[in-house]
A and B are shown apart, each in its own frame.
Chain A
Amino acid sequence: MSIPFTLNGKPAAYEGSATDRLVDILRKDFKCPGVKVGCNEGECGACSIIMDGVLINACMVAAGRAYDTEIITIEGFRETEKFAVLDRCFAETGAVQCGFCTPGMILAAECILTKNPNPNEAEIRDGLSGNMCRCTGYNAIVHAVALAAKEGKGLW
Chain B
Amino acid sequence: MAEISGSVVKVDHGPKVRGEARFVADYPMEGILYGKTLRSDRARAKIQAINVPELPMGYVVADARDVPGKNGVLIIGDDTPVFAAETVEFVGDPIAMVAGPDEAEVERILREIEVEYEDLEPVLDMRKSEKVFYEYGYEKGEVDKAFAEADKVYEEILQTGHQEHGYLETQGITVVPLAGGKVKVHGSIQCPYYVRKALVLALGIEPGDIQVIQDVTGGGFGGKEDYPSMIGARVAVTALKAGKPVRVVYDRREDMATTSKRHPTYSVYKAAVKDGKVTAMDIDLLYNAGAYTTISMVVLQRGTICSNGVYNIPHMRAHGRSVKTNSVPNGAFRGFGAPQVFFAVEMFMAHIAKDLGVDPVAFKEAHFVKKGDKTSTNGIFHHGVPLPQMNEKLLTASDYWAKREAYASQPKGRYQRGIGMSYSFHGGGFTGTGERDIIKAVAALQKYPDGKVEILTSGTEMGQGLFTTFAKIVAKELDCPIDQIIVKLPDTDRVPDSGPTVASRSIMVVGELLRRAAAKIKAEWKDGEAQRVEERFQQPEWQIPFNYDTFQGDAYPTFSWGAHCVEIEVDTYTGEQKVIGAWACYDVGTPIDTTVVIGQMEGGFLQGIGYAHMEQMNYDKKGRIRSNSYSDYTMPTAADVPKMEMHLCVEEYPEGPFGAKGAGELPLVGVPGAYVNALEQAIDKDFCHIPVTMEDTLTHWREGGQA
Contact = CB atoms under 8 A, between A and B. Distances in A.
A137 B629 contact: no
B207 interface: no
Interface in A97-156: 97-103, 106, 121-122, 124-126, 128-142
A129 B639 contact: yes
A82 B462 CA distance: 27
Interface stretch (B74-82, B217-225, B367-375, B524-532): B217-225
B602 A98 contact: no
Interface string A77-96: 01000000011001111101
Interface centre among A36, A38, A99, A102 (most CB of B within 10 A): A99
A99 B21 contact: yes
Contacts of B596: 94
A15 interface: no
A124 B642 CA distance: 10
A99 B644 contact: no
A98 B614 CA distance: 23
A74 interface: yes
**Chain B binding surface, main DSSP class:** loop
A8 to B, nearest CB: 12
B631 interface: yes
Contact of A33 (B26, B599, B636, B641): B26
A96 B13 contact: yes
A100 B579 CA distance: 26
A69 interface: no
Given A98-B219, A132-B637, A44 B168 contact: yes
A102 B639 CA distance: 17
Task: Classify chain B's interface size.
Answer: 35 or more
Nearest to B217: A98
Task: Classify chain A's interface size.
Answer: 35 or more
B607 interface: yes
A139 B644 contact: yes
B383 to A, nearest CB: 28
Nearest to B602: A137
B144 interface: no
B386 interface: no
B9 interface: yes
B169 A87 contact: no
A39 interface: yes
Contacts of A90: 13, 17
B108 interface: no
Interface string B455-467: 0000000111100
A131 B636 CA distance: 11
B642 A125 contact: yes
A135 B605 CA distance: 10
Contacts of A86: 17
B599 A132 contact: no
A103 to B, nearest CB: 4
Contacts of A43: 629-631
A134 B602 contact: no
Nearest to B465: A97
B169 A36 contact: yes
A124 B639 CA distance: 9
B629 A100 contact: no
Interface string B100-137: 00000000000000000000000000000000000000
Given A94-B595, A96-B10, A100-B218, A74 B602 contact: no
Nearest to B633: A43
B630 A132 contact: yes
Interface of A: 27-28, 33-41, 43-44, 46, 73-75, 78, 86-87, 90-94, 96-103, 106, 121-122, 124-126, 128-142
24 contacts: A33-B19, A36-B23, A37-B25, A39-B629, A43-B631, A44-B630, A73-B19, A87-B18, A91-B9, A92-B9, A94-B595, A94-B598, A94-B599, A98-B219, A128-B637, A132-B635, A133-B168, A134-B635, A135-B219, A137-B644, A138-B606, A138-B637, A139-B644, A141-B638
Given A134-B603, A138-B638, 10 more contacts: A34-B18, A38-B252, A41-B252, A41-B631, A44-B630, A94-B595, A99-B16, A122-B642, A124-B638, A128-B637
